Amino acid sequence: MTLVHALAALALAADPTVFVAVAPGYPGTTAEAQASMDGFAAALAAGAGLPAGSVRAAYYEKAQAGAERLGKSDAGLGMVALPFFLQEAAALKLEPRLGASQKGTGSTETWALVAKKGRVTGPASLDGWQVSSIAGYSPAFVTGTALAAWGRMPASVKVVQSSQVLSALRKAVAGENVAVLLDGAQAAALPSLPFAAELEVVARSAPLPTGIVVTVGKRISPDRWKALERGLRQLADRPEGAAALEAIRLQGFGTLDTAALTAARKAFASASK
């Protein structure tokens, strides 16, 4: 390594790009996930051909904390859940780049609205009801985007964010005016519940992106993004990269389903009016 290259590497390590992962309501806390995020950052830097320490990463399980971290000047890119992207993309200047493939669901997932059997025949049935969802921090996603083809829910619906899925489903079974919007993994687990026979899926979404890799504004140069994109796409091909992905429950990164994202953005804009 020449002196010039060494100085450039030191500069990159001293002013690292921060990768911010935001998945509101999902397991783990920022502190609990840090070791796994450190491993991911190291594997990404190596895969991108960047010096050690030039990429750092952090995870946030709360929407507000994640938005605040993405708002800081060193946050150049990240991975966010679709409802968060729809809610915050304009304010944070998030540019969608790649799709993230999650273990168990892949790069797209189908959301499902679940209620007690026989109680919901259409959106109007939910007048005055509570709809609980892990995506409740983004009300327009819950009431209009996820189930755009089914129809928009009444304005009287109260959207509640909760990761306590079993508790909400038990309330529905007990006859309370509660429906639950489940993500792909939660919907897949529904048949295994002991009271599943008392519930029914009343509507499903079209396949929607599971997670979205974004860049923030113009904080990353085109050359830096080109290197990082290559590193992200090839991460699963390297043993250390595959291990880092496994630690954060991902399979890899690839081409984003732009048609699905465009449809989701259009529905979200309509539901937000």
Contacts of 222 by beta carbon, 8 Å cutoff, 6+ apart: none
Nearest to 143 by CA among 86, 91, 60: 86
* pLDDT band, residue 6 (cuts 50/70/90): very low
- Residue range 55-96, pLDDT digits in tens: 999 999 999 999 999 999 999 999 999 999 999 999 999 999
Percentage above 70 pLDDT, the chain: 95
Q: What is the rounded average pLDDT of the residues 154-183? A: 97
* pLDDT for 206 beyond 90: yes
Q: How many CA atoms lie within 13 A of 229 on its CB side?
A: 16
* pLDDT for 251 beyond 50: yes
Q: Extract the tokens encoding 89.
A: 């993309």
Burial of 222 (0-12, 13-18, 19+ CB in 10 A): exposed
Alpha-carbon gap, residue 189 to 173, rounded angstroms: 17
* pLDDT band, residue 5 (cuts 50/70/90): very low
Contacts of 62 by beta carbon, 8 Å cutoff, 6+ apart: 24
Q: Hey, what domains does the chain have and what are their CATH numbers?
A: 3-106+208-271 (3.40.190.10), 111-204 (3.40.190.10)
Rounded to 10°, the helix 82-92/258-271 angle is 70
Measured over the CA atoms of residue 199, residue 202, residue 206 and residue 209, the dihedral's sign is negative
Alpha-carbon gap, residue 44 to 57, rounded angstroms: 10
Q: What is the rounded average pLDDT of the residues 160-178? A: 97
11: helix, strand or coil: helix
Per-residue confidence (pLDDT) for residue 3, from 0 to 100: 37
* pLDDT band, residue 143 (cuts 50/70/90): very high
* pLDDT for 271 beyond 80: yes
- Residue range 94-111, pLDDT digits in tens: 999 999 999 888 899 999
pTM, entire model:
0.92
Per-residue confidence (pLDDT) for residue 219, from 0 to 100: 96
2: helix, strand or coil: coil
* pLDDT band, residue 272 (cuts 50/70/90): confident
98: helix, strand or coil: strand
* pLDDT band, residue 13 (cuts 50/70/90): very low
Q: What is the rounded average pLDDT of the residues 2-21? A: 60
